[in-house]
Structure 1
């Protein structure tokens, strides 16, 4: 069993030589192809040129790297170890090349994205701030709305990236030509007006809310049926008193005492001062947030970097989704 490859700087220190990467590639090709002639065909060289490259590499390493037979060629132990080094070196060079190209791609260009409000004012805002600080030369454009309004624009190439969601019982509006990557799973909480008798409990079972008036999403929203579906699973038909697609408006209505509403956990830290939230037990309904891109096979550096920052922001946001103590 051969020794594990050293890092290139360690190899250079031990040999005292600077190895030519092109010659290392030649040695690797000879190993893969099994002959100098086959390596010459693969690299577009003559067999004589391949032989000269190997000889020069042997001088650089002061070691015999290949054993030449009448009709075959084999690597010595030193040659095999050097090929193992070469594999690692070429992987690192490919990685460096990709990273340099990615950085170059972030020194200009444009990133067009769309988001819905509750994630836009939290996770997306944090990611945008960090992206702009790191890559100020990239032109950022942001559209705010509902996924059903802008996901089609993403599919048509008008946007580069979008945030979307799905709720328990309501499927996300993603087409087959789009790729949706999970970003955040969060509980749906129940918003109650300050002073509501169930606040002190901290958590409630949905059937306990069967006699309440509810505030739900409007018919314009893809999640309009969410409140009805989840309540029906709990065994009752909710009495819908108001409809709004804005969680801030919903909270104001809750604070006024005209109804209660489901609230995504990510919105807790911007809760209305006269609203309290409680968890649902034993199983809370969930909202899942996605990053959606076109299925092009090749992601732009701008999109890749933004997704990375969105993931970091979502990971930092997750501990904040636990509702505060009642009171």
Structure 2
């Protein structure tokens, strides 16, 4: 009889490309994963992996078995999340991966409400960029993902995932109170082309959104500083050394010398959503979390807190 653990190991190797990467994703040692594969080969009577340089490739039979394995594992996951779960009692552990500002603006309030609701749910949270979050949920490393999708930078969602939009998160340009733009009610991209910027790292979705603002103007923003933490962006704006594009979700109260000015034509906004595998749709835990997140997002407090725009 084929062991489920062995199928899971083979599917992980196919997804991650190497035994070592699969072991890291599964939380096992490489030798333990190798033993699972050897067990599968012994039970099947044929090789499922072949050496290629320093890595491995799945044989033709290995690829077929991995495909069957993914379907079996998906059905098993659906069974565990529906028929074997009490819909009236959301329990168990959920792995959540979320972008950083949503950890502050959505996940923090979510954890508080779970405690108040009395649900026996245990959440672990990892902060990741939305692309990495989608990948982790897609390959089973996480159960839920909080992601964002800028109006100028679309996020690709695999077919076996479900996406539900929760709220819109508007971004403002932050300037020092002594900056000429601080006295304006709103600002257009053409007025920002000569500014010195701090941005999230090159390749991050928020960095791409900043670049897209100036695409129609045929200009590239003068980015002097790259840092992943929006708190650092706010601090450097306060020091008067740069301006920054910072979303409102999870944004703390701004210092007295930092002014948030809305950007228009176009408005800079991103949609914030929740992703999970379709096999987990009926999971009581996921349904409970989704309901709580809808309430938090719908209240408006998460995306328009004390750092909302003000004029200087």
1:102 corresponds to? 87
Q: Kindly state the Cα deviation for residue 126 of structure 1 after the two structures are TM-superposed.
A: 0.9
- Structure 1: how far apart are the matches of 2:215 and 2:175? 20
Is residue 311 of structure 1 aligned with residue 258 of structure 2?
no
Is residue 192 of structure 1 aligned with residue 175 of structure 2?
yes
Is residue 112 of structure 1 aligned with residue 95 of structure 2?
yes
The equivalences for 1:183-222 within 5 A come to 183-222=166-205
Higher mean C-alpha displacement, 231-240 vs 173-182: 231-240
Is residue 320 of structure 1 aligned with residue 304 of structure 2?
yes
SS in 2 for 1:229: helix
TM-score (normalised: structure 1): 0.64
Choose from 142, 147, 162 the match for 1:159: 142
Is residue 293 of structure 1 aligned with residue 282 of structure 2?
no
1:256 corresponds to? 239
Q: Kindly state the Cα deviation for residue 325 of structure 1 after the two structures are TM-superposed.
A: 2.7
Q: Kindly state the Cα deviation for residue 305 of structure 1 after the two structures are TM-superposed.
A: 0.8
Q: Kindly state the Cα deviation for residue 129 of structure 1 after the two structures are TM-superposed.
A: 0.8
- Structure 2: how far apart are the matches of 1:143 and 1:261? 25
1:4 corresponds to? none
- Structure 1: how far apart are the matches of 2:219 and 2:122? 50
1:5 corresponds to? none
Q: Kindly state the Cα deviation for residue 133 of structure 1 after the two structures are TM-superposed.
A: 2.0
- Structure 1: how far apart are the matches of 2:251 and 2:95? 28
- Structure 1: how far apart are the matches of 2:293 and 2:217? 34
| Pair 285,157 (structure 1): closer, same or farther in 2 beyond 3 Å | same
* Cα pair 1:207 1:236 within 8 Å, conserved: no
SS in 1 for 2:135: helix
Higher mean C-alpha displacement, 254-263 vs 165-174: 165-174
* Cα pair 2:262 2:309 within 8 Å, conserved: no
| Pair 113,267 (structure 1): closer, same or farther in 2 beyond 3 Å | closer
Q: Kindly state the Cα deviation for residue 157 of structure 1 after the two structures are TM-superposed.
A: 1.9
SS in 1 for 2:308: coil
* Cα pair 1:185 1:289 within 8 Å, conserved: yes
| Pair 298,225 (structure 1): closer, same or farther in 2 beyond 3 Å | closer
Question: Cα RMSD (Å) of the superposition?
Answer: 2.3
Give the unaligned 5+ runs of structure 1: 1-97
| Pair 269,224 (structure 1): closer, same or farther in 2 beyond 3 Å | closer
> Rg: which structure is higher?
1
| Pair 179,268 (structure 1): closer, same or farther in 2 beyond 3 Å | same
- Structure 1: how far apart are the matches of 2:253 and 2:138? 32
Give the unaligned 5+ runs of structure 2: 1-82
Higher mean C-alpha displacement, 312-321 vs 254-263: 312-321
SS in 1 for 2:299: helix
The equivalences for 1:1-327 within 5 A come to 101-104=86-89, 106=90, 108-234=91-217, 236-296=219-279, 298-317=281-300, 320=304, 323-327=308-312
Q: Kindly state the Cα deviation for residue 269 of structure 1 after the two structures are TM-superposed.
A: 4.1
Please list the CA deviations of residues 265-323 of structure 1 after superposition, one character each: whole Å capped at 9, or x if unmatched.
Answer: 22444334432100112431211111001121642011001011111101112572683
